[in-house]
Structures are given as structure tokens and as C-alpha cells.
């Protein structure tokens, strides 16, 4: 689709390497800066879907930028500038090899474990007698290892420290930052009539200092419920109204695709892709509380190249 950016191949001033992720392409500038381009690719069930979603990259990049700014008093973060609606430029850090997942509610992966009879996850106890989507007495941190290949895996604090993946001192600081960021995210969400259900944070180190990196509080890294009707739905055992990309996964499942061998991604018509754009815009406007302003998409790659090159020359 001409108005969706699904592939990038830039050559910025000082560029040393590029990493193409599922959604983001990260350009290393002089081993000092990272230029992170949020593409319009969309993934589900660990598969990059064949069509891009117009404006999705802009939505994710701008939500993350706003939340990085809104939490900079809690922990230093990597962001320096957003020279383009789809791009964040920031400091290059050495990433910790764990993702800090924090859960305020029993849902998703935690609920699936609970339903199987497990009462601990990543070494964290889960009380008896809980219902799906019920609030935990206190948020719990359920870290995962950052896999170079394949799926990330659950791991406990004790195992992270015992294996030397993160030092005890650093890990305990990551815990404090994670809980404080989640608390702030919950407060901001509540102002918008939303519940921040669970989310994940990634951290790195630069000159011995812990830095918050990557994206935060976006619908790709977080799950939101609408606050209105939450208690009633919980009492009736009904599904909660969600703000996340869960609706894409549900559409794929309904059309016979869950990423398993031999399954084929259903046709993503222009009309379907536009409907997903509308949902992402709705996510943005609900989460941020501002009208979404669509950027010019006549030639997205040229726009990004010009904006980033200009920034790098003048920094």
C-alpha cells in the first residue's frame, strides 16, 4: 500500500549498522545515537503480516514520545528528539537482557497460567480464588528474558540474579523504576477513563547509569481496559472492553490463522487495513487525550530521510 511504510533502507550520516525488527528499524549512528523508525508493519502471533497499516507507526511513535516525556522525572530515558512523526532519535545504551513486565490485573498469559492451576508466575505468588481480569492486591513484576531468537521466556528475580543476567543492585533498581512508571501510567490512564492493565519496560545502561529505552505505554506493549463498565463486566464474568491490538489477533483467529505451520494469513484488503488504522487512531486519541493529526504520506521515506538527515547535521 503506497501510504504505508513497510520497509526502510536509509543511509543516514554516520550510519554504522541497521537492525530490522518486527515493527521498528533501528539505525546506529556513530555508536552514539540510535534512530528508531516505527514502521507501519504489524505483527501478530510472532508473524509480520503481509500488509502495512497506514499511520500505525506514527501512532506508536507519538504515544511513546509523549509517555517518555511524561515520566522523565522518574527515570532518565533515551529519547533526545522526534525529528519526524515516525522517528525517535536517542542515546545508544547497552540493553539489559530482560524485559520488565508488570501486571496489575490477572489477564492474558498470567490468567492462562492461573487457569492451569499454577499459583506462582516468575516466582511471584498469585492469590487463590481470583477471577479473570481481577485486580491483583499489588502489581507484580513478571520479567522475561530477551531471546535473540525464538520466544522470550518467563524467569524469576532469583534466577536472573543467580545467572548473573543482571546484578542484584541493578535489578532492584529496575524493580523500583518499573513500579513507579506503572503507577504513573495508571494515573494518566485513569484521567482518560482507562485502566492500564499490564505493560512492559526495557532498560539499558549508559556510563554506569540506568536508562529507560524503547517504547512505553503504547497499545503494542501494553493492555488497556475501559474503566467504565469494568466492575459490572467482571461481576458477570464477561470479557472487558480492551484498547490494544487484540482486535487484530481476534480477526486472524476468526479467519483461521494463529501463526501455526500450514496456516495462511487471510487477505488484508485495503478496506480492512483502513479499518485497523481507524482503530489505532482511536487508541491514540483515547490514550493521549488529543486529536490525532495525520502526517503527509505522499512519500514517507523521502520525508523521513530529509527530517532525520537535517536533525543529524544540526545536532
The domain of 278 spans 15-94+269-314
What is the DSSP secondary structure assignment for residue 77, as one 8-state letter?
Answer: B
How high is the pLDDT of residue 312?
97
Whether 144 is in a domain gets the answer yes
Instruction: Give pLDDT tens digits along the chain (315 positions).
Output: 458 999 999 999 999 999 999 999 999 999 999 999 999 999 988 899 999 999 999 999 999 999 999 999 999 999 999 999 999 999 999 999 999 999 999 998 899 999 999 999 999 999 999 999 999 999 999 999 976 655 678 999 999 999 999 999 999 999 999 999 999 999 999 999 999 999 999 999 999 999 999 999 998 899 999 999 999 999 999 999 988 888 898 899 999 999 899 999 999 999 999 999 999 999 999 999 999 999 999 899 999 999 999 999 998
Domain identity same for 125 and 213: yes
Domain identity same for 123 and 211: yes
Domain identity same for 105 and 215: yes
Domain identity same for 149 and 61: no
Whether 10 is in a domain gets the answer no
The predicted-structure confidence for 98-117, as pLDDT tens digits, reads as follows 999 999 999 988 999 999 99
Q: What is the CATH number of the domain that holds 192?
A: 3.30.470.20
How high is the pLDDT of residue 1?
45
How high is the pLDDT of residue 151?
60
Domain identity same for 237 and 105: yes
Domain identity same for 216 and 232: yes
Whether the predicted model's global pTM rises above the 0.85 cut: yes
Domain identity same for 110 and 206: yes
Instruction: Write out the E strands in the chain.
Output: 15-20, 24-29, 33-38, 43-44, 47-48, 79-84, 87-91, 94-95, 98-105, 120-121, 124-125, 135-141, 144-145, 153-154, 194-206, 209-213, 222-226, 242-243
Domain boundary among 243, 260, 283: 243
Domain identity same for 200 and 229: yes
The predicted-structure confidence for 238-253, as pLDDT tens digits, reads as follows 999 988 888 898 899 9
Instruction: Report yes or no: 221 and 215 within 8 Å, Cβ to Cβ.
Output: yes
Whether 23 is in a domain gets the answer yes
How high is the pLDDT of residue 149?
56
Mapping DSSP onto H, E and C, the string for 210-278 reads EEEECCCCCCCCEEEEECCCHHHHHHHCCCCCEECCHHHHHHHHHCCCCCCCCCCCCCCCHHHHHHHHH
Q: What is the largest CA-CA distance in the chain?
A: 59
Domain identity same for 130 and 204: yes
Domain identity same for 131 and 215: yes
Whether 9 is in a domain gets the answer no
Q: What is the CATH number of the domain that holds 89?
A: 3.30.200.20
User: What total of structural domains would you count in the chain?
Assistant: 2
Domain identity same for 106 and 218: yes
Domain identity same for 221 and 149: yes
Whether 134 is in a domain gets the answer yes
Amino acid at each position: 500500500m503506497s501510504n504505508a511504510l513497510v520497509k526502510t533502507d536509509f543511509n543516514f550520516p554516520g550510519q554504522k549498522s541497521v537492525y530490522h525488527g518486527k515493527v521498528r528499524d533501528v539505525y546506529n549512528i556513530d555508536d552514539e545515537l540510535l534512530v528508531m523508525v516505527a514502521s507501519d508493519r504489524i505483527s501478530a502471533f510472532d508473524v509480520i503480516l503481509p500488509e502495512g497499516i497506514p499511520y500505525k507507526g506514527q501512532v506508536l511513535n507519538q504515544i511513546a514520545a509523549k509517555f517518555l516525556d511524561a515520566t522523565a522525572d522518574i527515570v532518565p530515558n533515551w529519547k533526545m528528539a522526534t525529528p519526524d512523526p515516525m522517528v525517535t532519535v536517542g542515546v545508544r545504551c547497552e540493553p539489559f537482557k530482560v524485559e520488565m513486565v508488570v501486571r496489575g490485573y490477572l489477564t492474558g498469559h498470567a490468567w492462562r497460567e492461573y487457569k492451569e492451576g499454577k499459583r506462582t508466575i516468575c516466582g511471584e505468588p498469585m492469590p487463590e480464588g481470583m477471577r479473570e481480569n481481577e485486580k491483583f492486591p499489588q502489581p507484580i513484576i513478571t520479567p522475561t528474558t530477551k531471546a535473540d531468537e525464538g520466544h522470550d521466556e518467563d524467569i524469576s528475580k532469583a534466577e536472573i540474579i543467580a545467572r548473573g543476567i543482571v546484578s542484584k543492585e541493578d535489578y532492584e533498581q529496575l524493580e523500583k523504576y518499573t513500579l513507579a512508571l506503572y503507577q504513573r501510567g495508571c494515573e494518566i490512564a485513569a484521567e482518560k477513563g482507562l485502566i492500564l492493565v499490564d505493560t512492559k519496560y526495557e532498560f539499558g545502561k549508559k556510563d554506569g547509569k540506568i536508562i529507560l529505552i524503547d517504547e512505553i505505554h503504547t497499545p503494542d506493549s501494553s493492555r488497556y481496559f475501559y474503566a467504565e463498565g469494568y466492575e459490572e463486566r467482571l461481576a458477570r464474568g464477561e470479557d472487558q472492553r480492551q484498547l490494544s491490538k487484540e482486535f487484530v489477533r481476534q480477526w486472524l483467529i476468526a479467519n483461521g490463522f494463529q501463526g501455526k505451520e500450514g496456516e495462511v494469513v487471510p487477505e488484508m484488503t485495503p478496506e480492512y487495513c483502513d479499518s485497523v488504522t481507524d482503530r489505532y487512531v482511536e487508541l491514540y486519541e483515547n490514550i493521549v487525550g488529543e486529536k490525532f493529526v495525520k502526517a503527509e504520506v505522499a512519500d514517507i521515506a523521502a520525508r523521513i530521510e530529509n527530517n532525520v538527515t537535517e536533525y543529524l547535521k544540526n545536532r
